[in-house]
Structure 1
Amino acid sequence: MVAGRSSPGKVEAVDVVVVADTDVEFAAFMTRSTPALARTAWLLCGDTHLAEELVQQALVKTYLAWPKARQGEPLAYARRILANLRIDRWRRRRREVLMASDTLPDPTDDSQGLADQHAERDRLSRALMLLPTKQRRIVVLRHLEGLTEREVADAAGVSIGTVKSTASRGIARLREVLEAEDPAGRP
């Protein structure tokens, strides 16, 4: 109901703020996508606080481009913005800082074997941080986020052949690092 002060028998109209359907749609997208974006961001940078900042910036940019983003795959659009923001930040700083992995967003709620999961995640995170930025980005998007080669190529702005070769070299390097760390060959 809309009403304002008026003289008896006379009602003044007051503007009502209506939430646009696109805002509701974006809010639903943001709720669904934030955990996946946070995980990707952390894997790309290794710092929980920086990852949160990157996710916020990516969501703001996605919101500003929502009419365009919603026409295709909004999560892929936001993920590409996220990767580009990480690259921009890296170019400004030109150095990597490895932070503790105790706060990595983890989608599993299973408490069985939680210590082993944390240990394996820590091993993988440390090995990922040894990869060059480009290799790490492609390995994370392709193998940890499960994107297709085409999606990774689009997100990274490179050819499919570059994705294949870079991912292959990155995985080979990860194997070397992980095997050197655990010569017993833990499964």
Structure 2
Amino acid sequence: MPYTNDDFAEYAAGAWPRLVRAAHLLTGDFHEAEDLVQTTLVKVCARWRRIPREEVEFYVRRALVNNNLSRVRKRRVIHLLTPLLPERVHGRHAGHAEHVEERAALAQALAALTARQRAVVVLRYWEDLSEQETAAVLNCSVGTVKTHARRALESLRAHPVLAHRLPESEAGSKAVPGTGAGTGARS
């Protein structure tokens, strides 16, 4: 049974928050993230009826990452980063100042990564994809994913605020500070 426009509207509405969070980590800017997701969903909508049902998530992730890489290649402009993920701006809790500082440090550290390294970090540690799945989304080899992940983690470990939060090696631990990744919880 082929997809309908109603199927796409339902998918887009349900996936929007998750896609915006992933795009925010890719772009470093909430408004750019919303634009990236909107552009991606417009392109996906045009091909919606031809996407096999079992490949929708893969297709959308790949389109999101590819659209971001195209955006980076076209603009080559330094973007100002929002220091907080939008859904956490208004929350007050014990340790809020430390949490805000950690989020700002994470955003700053992610901004220092290359677009491909950032894509690998977001897909591996935020979206919780395996190395093979990440390689498929990025259309590269598993070795390339491992190299980008290793270099990205080295760069993140060099950041003074994040150094104590990252594992010494990628094997066995997938926690990236402030994301909730690897735990099944999303911030």
Scaled by the length of structure 1, the TM-score of the pair is 0.76
User: Which residue of structure 2 lines up, in the alignment, with residue 47 of structure 1?
Assistant: 29
Q: Does 1:62 align with 2:40?
A: no
User: Which residue of structure 1 lines up, in the alignment, with residue 151 of structure 2?
Assistant: 169
Report the count of equivalent residues: 164
Residue 33 of structure 1 contacts residue 75 of structure 1 at CA under 8 Å; is this kept in 2?
Answer: no
Amino acid at match of 1:22: T
User: Which residue of structure 1 lines up, in the alignment, with residue 107 of structure 2?
Assistant: 125
Residue 44 of structure 2 contacts residue 60 of structure 2 at CA under 8 Å; is this kept in 1?
Answer: yes
From 129, 132, 149, give the equivalent of 1:150. 132
Distance (Å, rounded) in 1 between the aligned partners of 2:110 and 2:28: 9
Amino acid at match of 1:51: A
- Pair 1:75–1:114, CA change in 2 (3 A): farther
Amino acid at match of 2:136: D
From 71, 80, 84, give the equivalent of 2:62. 80
Distance (Å, rounded) in 2 between the aligned partners of 1:77 and 1:114: 39
**Stretch deviating more after TM superposition (49-58 or 143-152):** 143-152
Please list the CA deviations of residues 111-169 of structure 1 after superposition, one character each: whole Å capped at 9, or x if unmatched: 54472433322221111111122111111111122111122111111111110121012
User: Which residue of structure 1 lines up, in the alignment, with residue 11 of structure 2?
Assistant: 29
Residue 83 of structure 1 contacts residue 156 of structure 1 at CA under 8 Å; is this kept in 2?
Answer: yes
Amino acid at match of 2:73: R
Identical-residue share of aligned pairs (%): 37
CA RMSD of aligned residues (A): 2.7
Structure 2: runs of 5+ lacking an equivalent: 167-187
Scaled by the length of structure 2, the TM-score of the pair is 0.76
- Pair 1:33–1:114, CA change in 2 (3 A): farther
Highest CA radius of gyration, 1 or 2? 1
- Pair 1:40–1:110, CA change in 2 (3 A): same
**Stretch deviating more after TM superposition (40-49 or 118-127):** 118-127
Distance (Å, rounded) in 2 between the aligned partners of 1:125 and 1:176: 14
Amino acid at match of 1:81: A
Could you tell me how far 1:186 is from its partner in structure 2? 6.7
Distance (Å, rounded) in 1 between the aligned partners of 2:3 and 2:59: 20
Amino acid at match of 2:82: A
User: Which residue of structure 1 lines up, in the alignment, with residue 141 of structure 2?
Assistant: 159
Distance (Å, rounded) in 1 between the aligned partners of 2:17 and 2:126: 14
Distance (Å, rounded) in 2 between the aligned partners of 1:82 and 1:123: 24
Could you tell me how far 1:48 is from its partner in structure 2? 1.5
**Stretch deviating more after TM superposition (116-125 or 48-57):** 116-125
Residue 35 of structure 1 contacts residue 105 of structure 1 at CA under 8 Å; is this kept in 2?
Answer: no
